[in-house]
Structure 1
Amino acid sequence: MQRKILKVIQTFSLRRRIVYLFAIAALIPFLSSVILSYNAIYSILDSKLETSAKNTLKHTELSLYHTMENLAQTSQQLVYPSSIAIKFNEFLQTDDKSKLTSLEEDIQKELDYITYTNASAGLAVYIAENDDHLYRNMLVRDDFSIDKLPSIGEFNDITYYGPHISNNPLNTQYVISITRDIELPNNRTITLYLESSFSITKNILSINQEMNNSFYLILDKTGRIAFSELSSAFPRNDNFHSLVSTDMSGKNEGYYWFKSTNVQGCSIVSLIPQKQFDHEKDRWISQMVFLAIIFGIFSLLISWLVWKMVYKPIRIFDSEIEEISNNNLESNTITTKIPEFDHTLNQLQNMKIQIGELLTEVEWKEKKRADLEIEKLMYQINPHFLMNTLDTVHWLAVIHKQDEIDKMVSALNKLLYYNLKRSGKLSTVREELDSLTQYFTLQEIRYDFTYTIVLNVHDSLLNTKVPRFILQPIAENSIQHGLEEDGHIVVTVYEENNQLVISIKDNGSGLSQIEIDQLMNNKSKDKGTGIGIGLNYVKRMLHSYYGEEARIRLESERGEGTVVQLIIPKSF
């Protein structure tokens, strides 16, 4: 296992190793701190959240208590022996119609005044024993019935209901309501129904929801759920399970609950979703994750800076080595502003200088060796040609008259003069063509053949510099490889793509592809003769002067003749 891990690590690049090391160095201390503080932080958060939830619940419970208390106090102004109750008693006892009308108007005005001046009061209705609505300050629903209201308790002869939808058809909000019986002096009993203002109830029920997205239950003294904002989990009229115990908080159905009971005997329960209750914990975790990301980014940034500090010199080294591999040995002054790398770069530059000097020396020696080989080939060609020519002159002197000998000797003299007079190796197209003409004159006399020579060259190219003695070996190949009586040779010189092209075309018997390949690859069976030596000399001479820029193209077919093209850079 350990070997496998080491093997995997060994495949990591320098950049990955730097990144991993800095990430580990930054995150391990941070994660250790987080783990050590985890329990303490959770305990603090639990205490903070529970305290906040209980405080908010207490505030809501007090608001509900004050609303119920205000309703009770307001109802005191509407029961006997209040002014409106006394007038109501008179209204029920009198038979005087004029007085009834006056009392009815007074009762209605006073009822409107009392409910209007009490901000906590809403709908108020006097209900007779037969459930007739004697007086009201607002409209009442047709299906209104006290028996349908959710009771939340009874205290001091007052029954409390709600929250429930208002019995005013123009109001669809939840309200708190009370009922109380009024005993009149004439032994008649009527019932007062009084609702809270819908805005008061709305503020009570929404304050906690706005703060922490909670839901409410209101329980009566027996623990029955009189009101539920979460009927799917806690339906109305079911018993809330915790009332049998003294617990004031707990967890049930995925909700944390907190309970508070007022003096009227009813209880209010706040339900907070576990997700909401755990929000603070999740936020702390998010903050830790955020800090971990920040630490990770910081470590990556530092590792990136270190990598750049190391990578740039490495790239410079790589570039320098690549230049050496591409034979670019020019010394450059490069600094990385890091002493250790600069010292190594200076050593590399010194090595480049030394390699350049060694290569220059090797090239000089190689060139010298090539020159010696060319000289050797030249000395092999000239004696061979001169011996054959002089032998022919000898027999001509015996057989022919003096004019023929004079012609031949004159041509030979010019040719020898051209070959031997120049100490350098560069000639011109003009001189090379003149030499070729003298050569063909000698060969025509020597072989008793008639040759037609055509020279196609523009005057502007006659003074172009070319290596010496490169056309005669090609012409000799034409004669040796099947040029018959009345042979035809065309020499064309032209410029193409800033290169000089010298084409020598004959109408001889031609060469096979095998013979062409042998000549071009120095594998000809005539390699030891003037034919093989001559073409090899031309190739070596062109390569010596022009390197890879010079080419020899040989095209031939049996019975179709041969075309040899020398393609060299144009020089003046």
Structure 2
Amino acid sequence: MEWQLSFPSMASFSLHSLKNRVIAVLLLSTMIPLMLSGGISYFSITSIMENKIQNGVHSNLRQVQISLINTLSNLNHVSQQLAFNGTVGRDLAKYFETDDILLKDQLGRDIQNNVNLIRFTNPDLGHMFYYFADTQSYVFPEPMLSDKFVPDNYPQLLQQGEMTYYGPHRTTLSRFIDRTVLSVTRKVDVPGYDNLYVYIETSFQLTQNVLQADNSSMNAAHLLVNEQNLITYSENKQFPVGTAYEPARYREGIYESQSSFLFEEPHDQGWKLVAVIPKESYNSEKNLWLRQFTLFTCFSVFIALVFAWTIWRTVRRPLSRFNKEIKQLHDSNFHSPLKMTKIIEFDFLLRKFQLMRQQIWELLQEVKEKEKRKTEVEIEKLLFQINPHFIHNTLDTIRWLARSKGMLEIDNLISALNRVLYYNMGKGGSTTIREEIEALTDYIELQRIRYDFEFTVTIHADENVLSRQIPRFILQPLVENCLYHGMKDEGVIEVHIAVVEGRYTSIRVQDNGAGMTEEDIERLMENQSRERRKVGMGIGLYYVNRMIRTQYGEEANFDIHSRPGEGTTMSLRIPLDKEREGEE
């Protein structure tokens, strides 16, 4: 179905049009204040504007201070994670205590990974590392870090116990970048290492955002003064870093220097933030506000605010509703009811959006169905890729037995072969663990005759799992892999089947053969592996992995652990059959 909708022409003026509403509201909100503006005394306006300017400056200062406090708090929080009592700090203590080279190397990588994870989850932070304070050397050197790291040269903002906050200051860590950052050092109380510290600094962009949070238009510069009344950061050349901060009082709340007014915002910890505003800019801003507000009366301001609220309500509500529809699409909710806004332009877009959403849903269903059919075809194809070499080798073995032994053994061999072929050439689907074990037993008997070495296969299965449903043809490829890769005389293959955690079937096949390398494992798991076509049914481990992934998705797990000379262990975990579990 296609929506037919046309926009209204200018001849039919309707307040249902967003454009017409905006024009009407703006005309009224502009004309009414101009007509109703009266004369208010000069001294009253001066007093109001001056108080407003001061309040605005202090409000902007508090905004910058809050951003700075949040940044320092974040530095403190991250430093706690890297200290001795934190997760990373405990690993660091183990790193220094152990003499095992392999364990030390693993701990070092874990510490670096955890530090990188903390940095990744805190995008507002930059460099963070451990260092020795006496030698200024890094515990885990990085090629991008400068060798000129001397934190004692940074301006100290605040000292709290074993923590020292610096800055803002120019970073000396990066070899190619010179930007302003905030930083902190914290002592790490690792036994035997009294000189071990952690250093953390903010990202360059965060520090710029904090210092530029003041949105006033009076060219304000900022100073940071520590608890010793020394300037640790300055944006004004008249107040150099490291000098004492000694302004003269002008009047309540305002201090004065030679050519500027200073507004202070102290903090409970002893440091304070100062805004330095040139006297010329301060008076110019005040006069500008006076010239603007002398044209309006209190009533005109009230009317302007009412119409401004009307404009916001007119635009905001439809946009909010449109945003909700987009979120519904983002959450894959393709069938939520469509709610109109009673504004022609927005309703037109909503109907188009609804049509697009319906088309997307149909396309997704089509793609999903195609992928499902493709997967089913691939699995069926794998099931029927029976390797003729297996049948040829088995028939050769039967012929050899016919020549060397009596008819009874030939009968047994043919019977076992028929059962294996009948079971393995079934058309997929599920089976029980009991039937899978019986087919595996017949297969093992055939392989005992085929191979010229002695081996033992033991199967341990709990009684309560024998009736569980599993995909067909799972055990045989696992055992076949053990026989083919490095099995010799007196080889042992153990098969363990049990229920774990009350909701998974665990299958573990272990051998004491020659083992495999990682490259061998990857080659066996490939779809077009030549090795898997040389033995048995020619399907192998790729079939097992593909089957459980298709049927159980991420709920299933298939792992292979092997080393040359140490045997191979294959672990398979699949969820229990939910229908059968409900019956029990």
TM-score by length of structure 1 reads 0.48
TM-score by length of structure 2 reads 0.47
More relative contact order, 1 or 2 (CA 8 Å, 6+ apart): 2
Larger radius of gyration: 1
Kindly indicate which of the two structures has a greater share of residues assigned to helix.
1
